Amino acid sequence: MESLIGLVNRIQRACTVLGDYGGGDSAFSLWEALPSVAVVGGQSSGKSSVLESIVGRDFLPRGSGIVTRRPLVLQLHKTDEGTQEYAEFLHLSKRRFTDFALVRKEIQDETDRVTGKSKQISPVPIHLSIYSPNVVNLTLIDLPGLTKVAVEGQPQSIVEDIENMVRSYVEKPNSIILAISPANQDIATSDAIKLSREVDPTGERTFGVLTKLDLMDKGTNALDVIEGRSYRLQQPWVGVVNRSQADINKNTDMVLARRKEREYFETSPDYGHLANRMGSEYLAKLLSKHLEAVIRARIPTILSMINKSIDELESEMDHLGRPVAVDAGAQLYTILELCRAFDRIFKEHLDGGRAGGDRIYGVFDNQLPAALKKLPFDRHLSMQNVRKVVSEADGYQPHLIAPEQGYRRLIEGSLRYFRGPAEASVDAVHFVLKELVRKSLAETQELKRFPSLQAEIAAACNEALDRFRDESKKTTLRLVDMESAYLTVDFFRRLPQETENTGNPGKPGTTPAGKPGTTPAPAVDRYSEGHFQRIGSNVSSYVRMVSETLRNTIPKAVVHCQVREAKMSLLNHFYIQIGKREAKQLSQLLDEDPALMERRQECAKRLELYKSARDEIDSVAWVLTQILMVWEILVFFTIYV
């Protein structure tokens, strides 16, 4: 089952990457679901020596006061016998360290990069993996030592800051607490035990470690603590004997230090009967075995969290889009697909699938009729203007029957007013179409990756809409001009005609030819006020008829020339131009934001790692299930057969 811890180590590294790159809450939830061992102790309690004894290497910074100023996530990976030991940092993933003195220096340098040369602390962890045949698979988190007083160069809040940082790790329900306490101090004053009791009152998650057993006063021992009489934990207490300062100064080999530790417990009159359950080697195996058991019990929860993270990563990958192809043909295909996606959304706006197209109908149903009603026909067909226009049309010779030229001038002058509403309708629809283009571009998620292509499409659309607008204006103005070019004769033929006679019998007399007959009726005064009123009224009736006609035909022309063309050929010219571009120009259009490309690569790597971990954990879980079934069968046959 050693591989199970190795898998969890890999998942934890992936979680770290997720957190570093803004992976969201799921990254931290998954991290919390993965068990790990948090090493807690006061300053100078021997934490560093315990960790080095477990690893079998001298690799941690040493000194007086606060030395561990950032959490160190230490992942141990057991390798095959005979392989070379090496270490890797997550922030230097491409570099392998075989000299552990350089590992110590890098820990110190990386700490200083974040906290500076001062004695400040930082919650940002350092991730270190050690691969060795001399370790067990294990994940340990070395935390800053608890302290009671701020020393010079530290803020007054350092005591509280360190405790809050340590508490954030040990209060997680899946955290295993390794509480380090020096044996030459009263266990009641142990900072590690005090904090672990607060977060784990039952002692279910806490392993007690007593250091400096060899430094206790003669005649005293720590059996009451180790055997659980002073302070009982559900997990065992383990005593260790670390290297002395003299051994450290002489660079005593860790193999020799471990042998001395075994000899101490085997020959000790106080602890000899516990020798097989004492020492750093036993502690490492105990922690590894317990961690495996906890992971095994947490497999369903871990798989659930992994599956959730996979779903979120796949969703993000869909949002980020596929990687851009390299060859020109594939790039052209990608551009055309993106254009089609935009065009589809644009048509949905026009056809009612999305909001916006109804504004075009509003132009025809509200804006155009309102503009037609506001035209100044009352002023143009006033008595004074009708008299003026008719008189000017007559010239030096007044009209004989009906003032046809006057009629024509009045009608033509009136119809010219329709040009304004016609052009305004075209411009209003043009504005709506441009807004729909802008909105559709914003709603085309795939295009957000390529701002250069988005800008090109926007420019091409606006250029096409400008062409459609110009053609629409020409067409609608032609409709107005056609009404002026040829008047509807039947309209005037149906009007009541003015007669030369009154229609009443005249008095007897002679005709103009001198023949006997009735007396002629008095002639109609063609320049009377009533005469000009009738002319204005007739022209007004004709203009109203034309207005109703244009109210129906202008929308038809606008839709045909602008809306229909926008639906059918908005990007046709752009397609032609794109087909002529070279590969370099196409790649420039698909030039993504470097941060977006990096984000996609990171997501792809994490997704691959998560899927691999899920498959391997699934396989391990299946093997465990099979072993359990075989065990149950053996038990059954042992009992009943």
Cα–Cα distance between 294 and 205 in angstroms, integer? 10
Tokens 């040493």 sit at which residue?
62
Q: Residue 501: which H helix or E strand, with range?
A: none
Pairwise CA distance, residues 72 & 144, whole Å: 9
Identify whether the C-beta of residue 497 lies closer than 8 Å to the C-beta of residue 401.
Answer: no
The CATH number of the domain covering residues in 328-495+528-591:
1.20.120.1240
The secondary element (H helix, E strand) that includes residue 153 is none
Q: Which of 132, 85, 126 is nearest to 107 (CA)?
A: 126
DSSP state of 516: E
Using CA atoms, how far apart are residues 612 and 571, in angstroms rounded to an integer?
44
Sign of the CA dihedral running 561, 567, 569, 575 = positive
- Please answer whether residues 205 and 175 qualify as being in contact, where contact means their C-beta atoms are separated by less than 8 angstroms: yes
Would you tell me how many other CB atoms lie within 10 Å of the CB of residue 384? Answer: 9
Q: For residue 488, which amino acid is it?
A: T
Which pLDDT band, with edges at 50, 70 and 90, does 343 fall under?
A: very high
Q: Which residues contact 196 (CB under 8 A, 6 or more apart)?
A: 40, 170, 177, 179, 203, 206
Which numeric CATH code is attached to 35-314?
A: 3.40.50.300
Q: What is the pLDDT of residue 54?
A: 87
CA-wise closest residue to 72 among 53, 85, 63, 59: 59
- Give 233-256 pLDDT, tens digit per residue: 999 999 999 887 777 777 777 888
CA 274 to CA 266: how far, in whole Å? 8
CB 320 within 8 A of CB 617: no
Does the pLDDT of residue 303 top 60, yes or no? yes
Residue that the structure tokens 């809040």 belong to: 157
Contacts of 128 (CB under 8 A, 6+ apart): 72, 73, 74, 75, 87, 88, 89, 90, 103, 107
- Is 328-495+528-591 in the same CATH topology as 35-314? no
Q: Which of 389, 373, 362 is nearest to 421 (CA)?
A: 373
Please, which residues have CB within 8 angstroms of residue 621's CB and are 6 or more apart in sequence? 299, 303
| Counts of helices then strands in the chain (DSSP H, E) | 25, 11
317 vs 314: CA distance, rounded Å:
5
Question: Does the structure show a pLDDT above 80 at 408?
Answer: yes
- CB-CB contact of 447 with 439 (8 Å): no
Pairing outcome for strands 86-89 and 92-97: antiparallel
Q: What is the pLDDT of residue 389?
A: 82
Mean pLDDT within 75-84: 88
635 confidence band (pLDDT: 50, 70, 90): low
Among the ranges given (93-97, 176-180, 383-387, 625-629), the one the predictor scored with the smallest mean pLDDT: 625-629
Q: What pLDDT was estimated at residue 30?
A: 61
Averaged pLDDT, 166-194: 90
Q: What's the per-residue H, E or C state across 1-46?
A: CHHHHHHHHHHHHHHHHHHHCCCCHHHHHHHHHCCEEEEEEECCCC
Instruction: Point out the least confidently predicted range of 46-50, 55-59, 64-68, 513-517.
Output: 513-517
SS3 47: helix
Residue 103 main-chain phi, psi, to 5 deg: -65, -45
When comparing pLDDT for 527 and 207, which is higher?
207
Neighbours of 98 (CB within 10 A): 10
**Cα distance between residue 161 and residue 144, in whole Å:** 10
Percent of the chain at pLDDT above 90? 29
Q: Are 100 and 87 in contact (CB under 8 A)?
A: yes
If one counts every other C-beta atom within 10 angstroms of the C-beta of residue 289, the result is: 13
- Tell whether the model's pLDDT for residue 500 goes beyond 70: no
Domain coordinates in residue numbering, the chain: 35-314, 328-495+528-591
Taking the C-alpha atoms of residue 292 and residue 6, their distance in angstroms, rounded to an integer, is 10
Instruction: Report the pLDDT value the prediction gives residue 398, as an integer from 0 to 100.
Output: 66
